[in-house]
Structure formats: C-alpha cells, structure tokens
Chains A and B, each alone.
Chain A
Amino acid sequence: MTQPLQPPPKKNPQKRTQSSTRPPETRSRAALGLSAAAAEGRFALQVCQECFAVQYPPRDVCRACLSPELAWQDQSPSGTLLAETTVRTSTKLYFRDRTPWRMGSVQLDVGPVVLCHVHGDCQSGSKVTLLNRLDAAGQGVLLAVPEERTDHMEDNPQLRALSADPKHRRILVTDLRNPNTPALVKALLDAGAATVFVGESESWRPHDNRRALADLENVETLPLDVTDVASVQKLAGEIGGKTDILINTARFVRPGGVLERGDTAFAREEMETNYLGLMRLAQAFGPGMCARTGDGINSAVAWVNILSVHALSNAPDFGCFTASNAAAYSLSQSLRGEFRGSGLRVMNVFTGPTDDEWHQALPPPKVSAVAMARAVVSGLQQGLEDVWCGDVAKEIRDRWRRDPKVLERELTQGGEGA
C-alpha cells in the first residue's frame, strides 16, 4: 500500500537546500529511442524488420538474425514480475539520496525479460504494466506498476521521481489574459497544486479572467509582463525560490502572413511575447528553479511551454505568429540542454488552433481550454517532454514525421489560378 503523500512542512531556514543529483545519463545512440518514446509517454521497443523479434535492451543488430534493421515500435507494456529486490545503498549519489529503491525483472508478454524499477505495490509473480518514463537525467527508464490501479499509487517515491506531478507543488501560470488560463488554473488545483500564482500584465486594463480567478482559493494574482524585463525580474525576486513548475501561457497572436500585414508591428509583438518573453522568463526564473530540483516533495520540477504545432511547419494564414512559435520551439530545445544538468525538465505542449477569438474564423476541430488544461496536467503527471494536444496537433505531428517536405508543400498550397 502506498502511503498518501503529505504536504511538505515549511522549510527549515537553517538547513541547506539539498543539491540536485541525477541518475546516470549516458546511453548508446540506439538506446535513445527509448527516451524518445518516453518523451511522449509511449512504451516502445526495437523490432527486427526482417524476423520481427522484439528486442531488449536496445542494440544495433537483431539478437536473433543479426539484421541491423531495427525499428522502434509501440508494444504492449504488459508483463509478469518474475523477481524483485530492494537496493539499500548505491555508489550513485542520486540513488544514495533515495534508497531504499525497488528493482526487479519482468517477463514481457511480447517476449523479452527486462530489468526495471519496481513500484512498491507490485507483488512478485503478479501481472504488471511497464511505464516508460523520463528520469531526472531526461532518459527513458522502465518502471513496473500494478496492472490495476492502487490507492495513491502516484505518491510512490519511485513513480513520483519519474513525473512532474503538480500535487503539493507551487505553480506559476504566466499570463492571466490567455483565454485558456482559468481552466488551466482550476485543473492544476484539482490535481493538488498547493498554490497557483497567476501573472497579470497591465493591471490598468481590466480583464474578465481576473473575475474568473478572484474567488478561487490558493490562487494569487501577481504583476507579470513577459515583455518587460523589470517586471519579470521583480516577480522572480519575489517568488522565484518557490516556483516549482512554470507554465508559460503568455501568447501574442494575430492572423496573417507576411504580405497580408505589410508591416512588422504585430510580428515584433509576437517575438517580444512568444520568443523574447520566454527568454526573459528563463533568464529570471531558470537559475533559481535549476538550483531547487533536489528540494524534497515540492522541488522545482518542470518548465512548460505552450506552442502552436505549426512551430514544426509554418501555417501561412498565421504565418508570422507561427514563425515566432518556431523561434520559441528552437529556444525551448536550447533550454532543455541548459536545464539538463539540473534535472529540470522542459515540457512542450503543441496545440492546434485554440477555441478563442483569434481562431474564431477557423473551422473545428479546435482545442478547448478544458482539453488544453487536461493535456498540461496529464503531461506533468506523466513527466512528458512533448505533449500533442488535440487532433490537429497529432495529425500535423504524424505528417511531419512522415515527410516534412510533403507537409510543407501541403501547408503552402496556392489558390486555384487561371
């Protein structure tokens, strides 16, 4: 039985904040397919394209026929826990800080036996499900959990270490004015967030979302304008040391491509908010969050960006906006590299058109605020790096992976001419 996780006591100001440590990061290039699948919450293994043998651990040639044609394919995560043990000490600093730690061997239904982390509620000989999750080093690792859900199972320390669960954490949502913000704040509170700070730019301009959030408990609205470096630095000075998750909802969006606009005014605002805003937030909040990734139950754990899926391939009807999102996407990859050493994870939520005023003239399907909130919360609970929110985002992702040039050609279709 997993004991429910209690809210952490107030921090003892005489105690040094625990330094961040990480599990081993090094993998072979072949093994990184597991991390790529974990980034999206998929359980995948290599499958030989000649003899169809399922492989584990990852390798360069097939264990059965020596073919180098090994493809990562989603597999059933079901198996049986063969044996388990508890590690009580380790030469690795990360595990030393966290023992006891359960390990075991699982016979997968698809064939291989894997060595993996084992959830406290798994019994030897019982059916288990394997989760492929990112660890603090950003690498995919396997954790066996009971086939049927158990009470408070997400509170198990080994599972929580493979997540960015909002429970008991303090979360900054950067833009009160984003139409998706109220639903997101409510979803975070429902998921057990201790406090949600909501940044409000230009309090001299009223906004309906302020009223929507006014009556919620454990929500604090604070001044924050991501286009104003002084404002970002001020808020980071105030709450940077207790921001465990930062969700950047700041977005400036206007329709139109290059020729439709005829000037760079909106494009500048898009870059100021969507690209430089992210950079200002990262410069102000990043170092403090990176320093607190080992800080107990409410450690700093994740940085969340919400991006147009057309960051991958431009949609000319929102051409300038999506260009700013491509810049933000690229910057998020830099942040992944820069945060990696601390274990702070960057989760990008890619979305199709959102159901708001700027996409009113677009046909459905559109992503509702509630769907977006659900995607963010479940992505955090699963510790994902990439979340694809809604049918449009998933479809664009699939087409982009199939052939980026074909997708580009389809998205840049001209009208029927004479």
Chain B
Amino acid sequence: MTVLDTLVSGLSSGAVEIVDLTHTLDPDFPVIVLPPEFGQCARFRMEEVSAYDHRGPAWKWHNISMSEHTGTHFDAPSHWISGKDVALGSVDEIPMQAFVGPAVVIDCSSEALANEDFELTPGVIAAFEAKHGRIPADSWVLMRTDWSKRSGADYLNMRDDGPHSPGPTPEGIRFLVEERDIRGFGTETIGTDAGQGAHYAPPYPAHYYLHGAGKYGLQCLNNLDQLPATGAVLMAAPLKIKNGTGSPLRVLAMVSK
C-alpha cells in the first residue's frame, strides 16, 4: 500500500475526516473596514448573467466580484509592505508544497469569550507547548477563538475606537515566526491581527512579521473547534492570480478519527 492508498482508504472508512474551515461567500459577510479615505476591501457580489431564460435558455451562471481579501482568504507575503521584496511572495509564485501541511490549533476560545481583546502572547504559546509539545517548524498555527460563531455586528465588533477582536501581540507573533519558523498563522477573525492591532508597535504585527519573513496568513476561518490541537493537515491553496496578494479559497482540514 502506498501512502496515498492508506489515505484513500482512511477517507472512505471515515478514519480520516474532512473538515471545512471555510465561510460561505455571502454579500453580507463582513470585511475589514478602513478609514473611508483609504481604498476599501470589495465585498463579495454576484450578478446573474442568465438563469435558463431568454438570456441563456439552457444554463444559469453568475458574474462574481470581490477583493483578494474577502471572506475566508489567504494572505501572501506581498500583501504587506514588509514582504514586498520577499522572493516568491505572490499567490501565483508560492511553492505549492506550502498549500498542504500540518496545523496546530491553540485553543483560546474561553479566554476570548471572557475578553474580546484577548492577546496571544509568548506565555500563552508556552502554556500550549507545555501541554501539546513544541510547535513543529513549517506548520500552520491556528488561533481558535470561536469568533466564527459570531455573526453580523458582533463579528466585526466595530466601536467608535475601532474593532475589538482577539489576536497576537508583537512578541507572540515574533516568537512563532522567529523561534518556531512556522509556515503561517490563521485566525477566525477578520484579519490575522487583533481588532486593535493598529495600536501595537509595529502596527498590525502579525501582518508585519509574518509577511516580512515570507510566511502566510489565513483569516475568517470556520469550524476550528472541530480540529485537534495537533495532527490536522490543512489544504489551503489560493487561486493562481498573477501577482495576487491573497485570494479567497476553500480551506479544508484532514483529521484522524
């Protein structure tokens, strides 16, 4: 039996389960909101071209439009100024091996429930490793907050002083990038950074350190509560967009049962 034969038999027997970590692309799904004088993230839109009617009698199809950073999406290094000169930094250039790989899940759900501005610090990571072992190099690190169970205004959680949602501190993300050499960092929130991430030094530290080091981001993930702390394998291949800085995508995880 080859490795793939084993995988296929595991999939058919149910020993390996596929978990969908993706939100539905929906026109009303929140996107990041920037000060209005800046360019904005395009919402997902769908316009009917025909629906088995005079516009096309036997077929139905839509034109769709969105940003590279709408819905559940992948951030490439070229998304951030710190990563603009990273080699193979756009979605069409990233080596495809990066799109399938192991994931660890740091469960911060109870902390995020108590504190919407909960911070992922080196101390939180150390506590995770004390329980689950050292985070392997080249793995995805996913921050579980159960934020995906929120919807509407509670999801963006925008207030007069900006959005409030959990995320990593500069020290937390630096530790993962520099000390653990992770492949990338994923969240259930609207970005890889905390809602108040603009107020750290540097601003938006997850974007700054991840992409500066050629690492990737995943955000607006769903169903992280269905993943084990270690052992899941992520399949997260962005669309092959020429010079793309990111892409909406279907993120699937394989989990041993």
State the A residues within 8 Å of B (CB): 202-206, 223, 225, 227-231, 254, 263, 265-266, 269
Do B156 and A204 have beta carbons less than 8 Å apart? yes
Do B158 and A205 have beta carbons less than 8 Å apart? yes
Do A231 and B39 have beta carbons less than 8 Å apart? no
**Count of residues in B whose CB is under 8 Å from the partner chain:** 20
Do A206 and B45 have beta carbons less than 8 Å apart? no
Q: How far is the CA of A5 from the CA of B33 in the complex (A)?
A: 48
Confirm or deny: B161 has a beta carbon within 8 angstroms of a beta carbon on chain A: no
Confirm or deny: B54 has a beta carbon within 8 angstroms of a beta carbon on chain A: no
Do B39 and A265 have beta carbons less than 8 Å apart? yes
* Cross-chain pairs A/B with CB under 8 angstroms, 5 sampled: A228-B43, A228-B45, A254-B36, A254-B37, A265-B39
Smallest Cβ distance from A264 to chain B, in angstroms?
11
Confirm or deny: B136 has a beta carbon within 8 angstroms of a beta carbon on chain A: no
Q: How far is the CA of A33 from the CA of B244 in the complex (A)?
A: 57
Closest to A201 in B: B28
Do A229 and B47 have beta carbons less than 8 Å apart? yes
B147-166 CB contact bits vs A (8 Å, 1 = yes)? 00001110110110000000
B24-69 contacts to A (CB < 8 Å): 27-28, 30, 33, 36-37, 39-40, 43, 45-48
Do B153 and A203 have beta carbons less than 8 Å apart? yes
Do B46 and A230 have beta carbons less than 8 Å apart? yes
Q: How far is the CA of A202 from the CA of B45 in the complex (A)?
A: 13
Q: How far is the CA of A228 from the CA of B27 in the complex (A)?
A: 7
Contacts of B153 in A (CB 8 A): 203-206
Closest to B46 in A: A230
Closest to B160 in A: A206
Contacts of B45 in A (CB 8 A): 227-229
Do B30 and A204 have beta carbons less than 8 Å apart? yes
Do B152 and A204 have beta carbons less than 8 Å apart? yes
A interface, over-half SS: loop
Given contacts A203-B152, A203-B153, A204-B28, 16 further A-B contacts (CB under 8 A): A202-B28, A202-B43, A204-B151, A204-B153, A204-B155, A206-B153, A206-B158, A206-B159, A225-B28, A228-B45, A229-B45, A229-B48, A230-B46, A263-B39, A265-B39, A265-B40
Contacts of B33 in A (CB 8 A): 205
Contacts of A206 in B (CB 8 A): 153, 158-159
Q: How far is the CA of A206 from the CA of B159 in the complex (A)?
A: 7
Closest to A276 in B: B47
Smallest Cβ distance from B240 to chain A, in angstroms?
23
Closest 6 CB pairs of A and B: A228-B27, A204-B30, A204-B152, A265-B39, A204-B153, A204-B156
Do A227 and B156 have beta carbons less than 8 Å apart? no
Contacts of A223 in B (CB 8 A): 28
Closest to A229 in B: B47
Smallest Cβ distance from A370 to chain B, in angstroms?
24
Contacts of A230 in B (CB 8 A): 27, 46
Q: How far is the CA of A357 from the CA of B38 in the complex (A)?
A: 14
Contacts of B39 in A (CB 8 A): 263, 265-266
Contacts of B30 in A (CB 8 A): 202, 204-205
Q: How far is the CA of A203 from the CA of B43 in the complex (A)?
A: 13
Q: How far is the CA of A205 from the CA of B40 in the complex (A)?
A: 14
Smallest Cβ distance from B41 to chain A, in angstroms?
10
